[in-house]
Structure 1
Amino acid sequence: MFFERYIKDPLQFAWSDPKKIFVGGVFQLISIGGIISGLLIMFASVIPSLLDIAPELALFTSLGGILVGFIVATIGVVFTAFIYGYYMKVIENTLDGSFELPEWEDFKGLLSKGAHFFLGIFILQLIFGIISLIITAPFVILLLLNDNNSNVLLFNMFINLVSFVLSAIETLYITLATINFVDKKEFIGFFDLKEVISKISIEYVLVIVAVALVSILVVIPVIIILLIPVMIGIFTQNVFLMIAIALIVLAMPFLQMFLTVFGYRSYSNYYLSKKESILEENTGSENNE
């Protein structure tokens, strides 16, 4: 049952329509390329001003370059929002019992869902960051004031342990909070602490581990296959090496798209299963009363 629900079904779902995964991969390329290109353009545009090259034109060139770079980077960010809006649709389809990948349509809706996702995740990460700072700050201060090497080691171990625990809790919470946001169709779903925590269990941890292991098992063969032309290129020392590296760079967004859809499908299946289980328990309790 575990394998069927959290591995087999999500893999079949993610591969049910390769064209849609391909579109997502193209969007990933545009997203990454746009953001990186935009940042590079903005950085390059201020170099003349920093080096005092052609001062009479430097200001105009810098402002123009920054504007162009900002526009290009914004396009990349918009496409990123489309992608994450699509992931929200994947969750929505799963919760609705659909076995089909969502269509790439209603881009206004995808943009809205993606923007809400980014905002929710940003706030959650900010909250977890503040909590981490509050917990570790006193120990960091003590660490700075203490010259005892044994205490320094102890403090470092404690801080690392706290950081690890908080990171684990953050990972467990944010994934379910995202699905809860889609399920409730309300932004407050990200912060419904009681609802989200009620769905965290050992099974959920196992699902996360299973998704990670499957992702690794999928990535490794792909990397090995893509490394073959790289090795050939290294030994032949020609343009073949550059082509091989380019293939790896181009392949990764498509692989990421596939694995992310797989992951969200698996987590959504768990959420749905847990939701039904809790509902049955509550119904049983009411009947007993």
Structure 2
Amino acid sequence: MASITDVVKEGLKYPFNDGKKVLTLGIIFLVSSLVSLAMEYLVFDNMRILANLAPVDSVQAALSALPPSSLALIVLSWIVTFVLMVFASGYIYDVIKYGIEGRSELPEFSDIKGLLLKGLRAFVVGLAYSILPMILFFLGLMLTVNESVGTSVNAIGGIILLLAIIFAIFVSLVNVMALCNMVDKDEFAAAFRFKEILGLIKNLGWGRFIGILLFTVIAVMIITVFCGFIFGAIAGIVSMIVGSAFVMALINMILNSLLINPFVSIAISRVYGSIYKEATKTELETI
């Protein structure tokens, strides 16, 4: 059985097996970030247009006051960003699969349709697992901050909010193994076989499972902060030379999208696959 440090170290080293594919994923992240930046600019510009108009009394009146071309571009940017993120999720899906199979190479980008379908599966699973925690969280938050309902209801809201946070942490842990189970079985329903999923975590051990994930998060945070400091220094120097703060933000976004985001996504996904492989290995050893 591999140790916690071995699993995490292998995951962190894995992206270096093929820098070109890491950079390819980074380009996808970069294009998505640039599209999102353009969308934010359009939204801000349209909000400025609405602010200069007389008060509008309905959503329909507000939309009719905006240029149709701007609304079309905003919707298009949402669609493009969503498609790119689904495609990236499909690639991460394959990274998990390669981790489960113990393959040293990185997946290919050739099967575009397959990656989109896999990414859509992962998106739906993540959404399904997040719905209930989100409902509980917002319910607790509303009851806590609403002064008109009284202190006793506020206290109940605080309890619900605390339980929602604990439940969200538990669900996020289960979601990791659920995603891996779906990837391994190549079956959407496998993500919701809760008895099977909880059994895999039990085989690995909750302490070891949480320990690997926690160690991975800490290691990734250290790397991200270090690289962020380096990239920030580079961006700061360039921005001082050209005399523009926007350039500094743009360079930071480009470097993070191209290098940090794909590295982190691939490394964490590799760890997920390794965790699942260890859980199934432990299960076989106990049979």
TM-score class normalised by the smaller sequence? 0.7 to 0.9
Matched residue type, 1:213: I
Given that residues 35 and 75 in structure 1 are in contact (C-alpha distance below 8 angstroms), is that contact kept between their aligned partners in structure 2?
A: no
Equivalent pairs counted in the alignment come to: 273
Pair 1:172 & 2:168 matched: no
CA distance 1:47–1:146, change in 2 (3 Å):
closer
1:78 equivalent in structure 2: 83
Pair 1:125 & 2:130 matched: yes
RMSD: 3.3
Pair 1:252 & 2:253 matched: no
2:162 equivalent in structure 1: 161
CA distance 1:142–1:82, change in 2 (3 Å):
closer
Offset, 1:199: 2.6
Offset, 1:52: 5.5
CA distance 1:65–1:137, change in 2 (3 Å):
closer
Matched residue type, 1:102: P
**TM-score normalised by structure 2 residue count:** 0.81
Q: Tell me which of 211, 216, 220 is aligned to 1:206.
A: 211
Offset, 1:51: 4.7
CA distance 1:242–1:36, change in 2 (3 Å):
closer
2:59 equivalent in structure 1: none
Matched residue type, 1:277: T
Structure 1: tracts of 5 or more residues without a match? 284-289
CA distance 1:143–1:167, change in 2 (3 Å):
farther
Larger RCO, structures 1/2 (Cα 8 Å, 6+ apart):
2
CA distance 1:137–1:39, change in 2 (3 Å):
closer
Given that residues 31 and 75 in structure 1 are in contact (C-alpha distance below 8 angstroms), is that contact kept between their aligned partners in structure 2?
A: yes
1:99 equivalent in structure 2: 104
2:58 equivalent in structure 1: none
SS of the aligned residue for 1:198 comes to helix
Offset, 1:274: 0.6
Given that residues 11 and 267 in structure 2 are in contact (C-alpha distance below 8 angstroms), is that contact kept between their aligned partners in structure 1?
A: yes
Using the aligned pairs only, state the percent identity.
19
What does 1:109-148 align with in structure 2 at a 5 Å threshold?
109-130=114-135, 136=140, 145-147=149-151
Offset, 1:228: 2.5
1:107-143 deviations in Å (ceiling 9; x for gaps): 1111111111111211211133345578x59975998
**TM-score normalised by structure 1 residue count:** 0.81
CA distance 1:81–1:143, change in 2 (3 Å):
same
Offset, 1:239: 2.3
CA distance 1:240–1:2, change in 2 (3 Å):
farther
1:266 equivalent in structure 2: 271
CA distance in structure 2 between the partners assigned to 1:141 and 1:231 by the alignment: 40
Given that residues 12 and 267 in structure 2 are in contact (C-alpha distance below 8 angstroms), is that contact kept between their aligned partners in structure 1?
A: yes
CA distance in structure 1 between the partners assigned to 2:218 and 2:190 by the alignment: 29
CA distance in structure 2 between the partners assigned to 1:168 and 1:94 by the alignment: 24
Given that residues 36 and 73 in structure 1 are in contact (C-alpha distance below 8 angstroms), is that contact kept between their aligned partners in structure 2?
A: no
Segment of structure 1 superposing worse, 247-256 or 106-115: 247-256
1:286 equivalent in structure 2: none
1:74-126 deviations in Å (ceiling 9; x for gaps): 12211111111000010111222211110111111111111111112112111
Given that residues 235 and 251 in structure 2 are in contact (C-alpha distance below 8 angstroms), is that contact kept between their aligned partners in structure 1?
A: no
